[in-house]
Structure 1
């Protein structure tokens, strides 16, 4: 059991450190909108991991692994969502972020970033496919599949959160620079381009 946990921790850490959509989303949000918004995006991303973990633990993930139609449906929904985010940032980049917004506006914004993080994972079927093919390798024989799946997913979430906190902290020295109007527009456009790249990769990539 200890060997399995150590092996999983190493593999999950390497997966987390690999640059991808989640890293791009957290970095961009931390640089342009601050730590609180970035933490909400990070929590949303990890909530998406928890959703997929629960789906896999309940056995529904096996359907995604064998059903081409279901996989394609999730893939196209995820690609469409990422494409919408990317085009919005490219065509309508912001120049500032309101600092005197009302409490209701702030709450709405916070929920929005959490939902963006959540949807970026929930609408990506490759996360489900990865969990289906990856997690069972580290579950000891004759142990509860459901229990161990949830344990491994929680460990993965812990690694994710640690990495995201390091990324968020690293942006603090550059906060003032990254809040300038031209820098904000550049960040939105670059992030929008990245989102479109990930959307295309998701839509046209092989299973």
Structure 2
């Protein structure tokens, strides 16, 4: 069991730290809402992961994987959402310095941070497929599949929470610098383009 936990933890850490939509939306939340915005976006990401963990335990993720139409619909919806979020970041490039400053702060974090993080995860069927294929593969023989899968899923969420905390704490030291209009435009440009790329790839990838 200990060897299984160690191997699963290593695999989970590798998957979590790979740059992806979750990291980008958290960075976007930090830029737009400061540390509070990053925390709210991270909370949304983690809640989305918890939904997929529950779905994996209940077998709903397997249904998504087995249903070609359902998977395609969710994949396209998730891709479109990521493209929309990316476009919103790119549109910020046209704002003046005063408009950028006005669009930054706790109000934005409350209104969009949590929802952006949650929808980024919940509309990505690949996360559900990842859980339904990854988690059961680490269940040792003789252990209850449902409860062990739940435990591994919660461990994955806990590691993701730790990663998000590192992002928020690291960014908190340079939050003022990140929210300068010139720096924010550059971050918006990079995150916007990458999110659009992720969205298009998610929507069209077989």
| Structure 1 residue 31, shift from structure 2 partner | 3.9
| Structure 1 residue 112, shift from structure 2 partner | 2.2
2:48 is equivalent to residue 48 of structure 1: yes
| Aligned match of 1:76 | 76
| Structure 1 residue 174, shift from structure 2 partner | 2.3
Contact (CA 8 Å) 1:31, 1:174: kept in 2 or not? no
SS of equivalent to 2:174 = helix
SS of equivalent to 2:10 = helix
| Structure 1 residue 10, shift from structure 2 partner | 1.0
The TM-score, its normalising length taken from structure 2, stands at: 0.89
Q: Cα 1:147–1:177, aligned 2, differ >3 Å: closer, same or farther?
A: same
Q: Cα 1:152–1:97, aligned 2, differ >3 Å: closer, same or farther?
A: farther
| Aligned match of 2:202 | 202
SS of equivalent to 1:34 = helix
| Aligned match of 1:34 | 34
| Aligned match of 1:65 | 65
SS of equivalent to 1:171 = helix
Following the alignment from structure 1 to structure 2, what is the Cα–Cα distance between the partners of residues 92 and 175?
Answer: 18
* Unpaired segments ≥5 residues, structure 2: none
Contact (CA 8 Å) 2:36, 2:109: kept in 1 or not? no
Contact (CA 8 Å) 1:48, 1:118: kept in 2 or not? yes
Task: String of CA shifts for 1:27-61, please: whole Å, max 9, x gaps.
Answer: 23224431111011111111111100111111111
Following the alignment from structure 1 to structure 2, what is the Cα–Cα distance between the partners of residues 127 and 19?
Answer: 14
| Structure 1 residue 68, shift from structure 2 partner | 1.3
| Aligned match of 2:156 | 156
Contact (CA 8 Å) 2:40, 2:109: kept in 1 or not? no
Q: Cα 1:201–1:89, aligned 2, differ >3 Å: closer, same or farther?
A: same
2:136 is equivalent to residue 139 of structure 1: no
Contact (CA 8 Å) 2:52, 2:128: kept in 1 or not? yes
* Unpaired segments ≥5 residues, structure 1: none
Following the alignment from structure 2 to structure 1, what is the Cα–Cα distance between the partners of residues 39 and 17?
Answer: 17
Contact (CA 8 Å) 2:29, 2:109: kept in 1 or not? no
Number of corresponding residues: 202
| Aligned match of 1:17 | 17
Following the alignment from structure 2 to structure 1, what is the Cα–Cα distance between the partners of residues 17 and 42?
Answer: 14
| Structure 1 residue 73, shift from structure 2 partner | 0.7
